[in-house]
Amino acid sequence: MKKLFVILLSLVLIMQTLTGFSFETPQMNYNSQDYHFEYTVDWHGEYDVIVVGYGGAGATASIEVADEGAEVLLLEKAPKGQEGGNTRYAGQAVLALDKNTVDKGTEYFKSLRGKFNTPVDDIIISYLEKAGENREWLTSIGAKNIMSFPFNEYDYPGGEVMDALIIEGEMFTGKLYRTLQEAVEKRSDKIEVWYESPAVGLIQDPRTKTVHGVKVENNGRVLNIRAKNGVVLCTGGFENNQQMIQDYLHLPYGYSKAARYNTGDGIKMAMEVGANLWHMGNMAGPDLNVLNPETGTTFAYAIQGEKSVLSTGFATQNTIFIGADGTRFTDESVLPHHGYIDFHGSWIQMPLSLPAFAVFDETARLSQPVYDSWSEGNVEEIEKGYVIKADSIDELAKKIGVDSANLKKTIKDYNKFCNDKKDTDFNRNPKTLKPITKAPYYAMELVPSFTNTQGGPERNKNGEVLDVNGRPIPHLYSAGELGSMFSSIYQGTGNLGEAVVFGRISGKNAAKVKYDVLQETAMKVKTPIKAVWTEREEIILKSGEYIGKDRGIGGPIEVKVNVQNKKIMNIDVVYHNETKGVSTNAIKTVTDRIVKNQTTDVDTVSGATVTSKAIINAVKDALDKAGF
């Protein structure tokens, strides 16, 4: 009998080896009703979907979730009034095309991809098919008078079908973002917004890898908020994280042209739950600009290239760009295509020599402000130290720390190019060759700047975030520039198009009821905790004072107007989130003009047109209440 038992045991072991069958105690099925990870977490609130980040992608995803009938929590790191990420400050043009031209559009996008392996064709096609619905969708959420114009940034086959959509003809006014934000506000019964509430982690079942919720930091505490059906990451890139800029972009430093709160949070959270990263070395940049010390961003989009809606054109005056050795390194008359230049038939990111400086003379200083928001003759900026002044080239070289002999030779060679009307070094446009001859001389330090970064967690055509093995992480989605599909050269309007396209795709898929998780509440009898954030103090009005409101590029603007005996006595801007050092320069100027002239029919301030108009309209609103 003992011998028979040994024989049977041996057969069992052989069968176990051959088939993988085991007599071990069966493990609990974690997808069955016997186990619910949800009950192991101390939840402080629960929603159908959580969207992280209130930029264009986050707003779009939240709108889509709400329109699917689901409840959504929209988390925003910034204080109320400063939300919006890059979308608020971008050109406001959205990529689109005719639905019948997706094949040609796909050909164009394959050329943009070049020799890179991603994005795969399925993602390109999915993106463009949905982009064919962008006009219809924007109209459905309240956009009016949508205009379109052909726009292909590169001369590749199929580019002729690319269009850009703008609402009411407005560019660089925040119009698209305002439209999205108003649509979110109209759905307040389904969308709850928390400000000053950064997500600091994802809550994931370690066994099934399903993402069940988000850890949210609010008012000094960390809250566990459950998402029954999905989490959508829309946190933008890492434009404001200097360490990530060094690690991934191979730049010693770099600065955003717009976003202030994009510090790579979504990338880190996605990595913690096993996401694969792609396109981390890609960005829409670099361009060279002057850093605004009040915001940590640059003063505007560009000064390189000829004057246009994108550039002030200052670099085409009596101006050159020099690098660390005091010599020129680029053609100042060409604005790179979102940081890319044509290099012997290939498009590469513009090479930089850092530190870099713009060097110019008195003629250039007097020709125009470097940026539209700067003072006439750039006088105030010289006083602030943004512009360095010297009586000689030797003195200027010493002040900025470059080799004097090199700088003098560079200027001598450049002046000869101006005389010959031919730049043999960089082929600068002859009509922009203006000599540097008139003292005093000036220099401004230039920093690498970018519209945005493109890298982050990889997503598929369904908006699902993929793990390092290419599998979807259950219930986790993304949209926008966080893990953008652009791997190489970038088509302008493409990121806003992507925010709208993948915001809708990811929002719709996140809203679908998931039957692999508990659908009833996991809170039991607990009362959900609500977030708190800084609220504005109530404004107490005295006799003759009236509040007026409008929206600037930074969001709501409110003014308090004192009217006595049908005369405007004083105007105070009591609330705004306009950009310091740029739009805020318009506040005192416009209000002073209105009081001085006793009318709102005053000129706007160059470089701050949107802010100026908002102040004027807010004053009009107050005066209407005063019966003025």
Q: What is the pLDDT of residues 541-586, one digit of tens each?
A: 999 999 999 988 888 899 999 999 999 999 999 999 888 877 777 8
Nearest residue to 373 (alpha-carbon basis) of 357, 358, 384, 362: 384
pLDDT of residue 505: 98
Angle at 144 between CA 501 and CA 147, to 5 degrees: 70
123 and 55 in a single domain? The answer is yes
Distance, CA of 612 to CA of 176 (rounded, Å): 19
Which of 417, 450, 483 is at the close of a domain? 450
Beta strands 441-450 and 287-289 are: antiparallel
**Span 44-54, average pLDDT:** 98
Classify burial at 271, counting beta carbons within 10 Å of its beta carbon; exposed 0-12, middle 13-18, buried 19 or more: middle
Residue found by looking up tokens 């609402």 in the block:
167
Q: Which domain holds residue 296?
A: 286-450
- pLDDT of the residue at 15: 45
User: Domain for residue 164, yes or no?
Assistant: yes
Mark whether 436 and 584 lie in a shared domain. no
Tell whether 616 and 560 lie within a shared domain: yes
Specify burial of residue 438 (Cβ count, 10 A radius: 0-12, 13-18, 19+): middle
Q: Are residues 458 and 553 in the same domain?
A: no
Asked if residues 94 and 141 have their Cβ atoms less than 8 Å apart, the reply is: no
Residue 34's pLDDT band (boundaries 50, 70, 90)?
Answer: low
- The model's pLDDT over 150-196, given as tens digits with 9 standing for 90+, comes to 999 999 999 999 999 999 999 999 999 999 999 999 999 999 999 99
pLDDT at position 583 is: 78
Quick check: is 298 in a domain? yes
148 has pLDDT over 60: yes
- Cis peptide, bond prior to residue 355, ω within 30 of zero: yes
Which alpha helices (H) appear in 30-174, and where do they start and end? 56-67, 102-113, 121-131, 134-140
Q: Are 548 and 621 in contact (CB under 8 A)?
A: yes
Same domain, yes or no: 475 and 584? no
The pLDDT score that the predictor gives to residue 35 is: 79
Assign residue 274 a region: left if phi > 0, alpha if psi is -120 to 50, beta otherwise? left
Closest CA to 616 of 570, 564, 552: 552
Q: For the chain, what is the domain count?
A: 3
335 and 428 housed in the same domain: yes
Q: Which residue has the tokens 């088509």?
A: 491
Structure-token pair, residue 576: 């705004």
Q: Report, as an integer, the average pLDDT of 598-608.
A: 91
Which pLDDT score, from 0 to 100, does residue 585 have?
76
Answer yes or no: do 477 and 375 share one domain. Answer: no
Structure confidence at residue 33 (pLDDT):
54
- 347 and 361 in a common domain: yes
pLDDT of residue 26: 33
Domain boundary (460, 495, 511) is at: 511
Structure tokens at 200: 């600091």
Position 211 pLDDT exceeds 70:
yes
Residues 372, 277, single domain; the answer is no
> Given this model, what pLDDT does residue 21 score?
38
Q: How many Å is the Cα radius of gyration of the chain?
A: 28
Q: Are residues 105 and 246 in the same domain?
A: yes
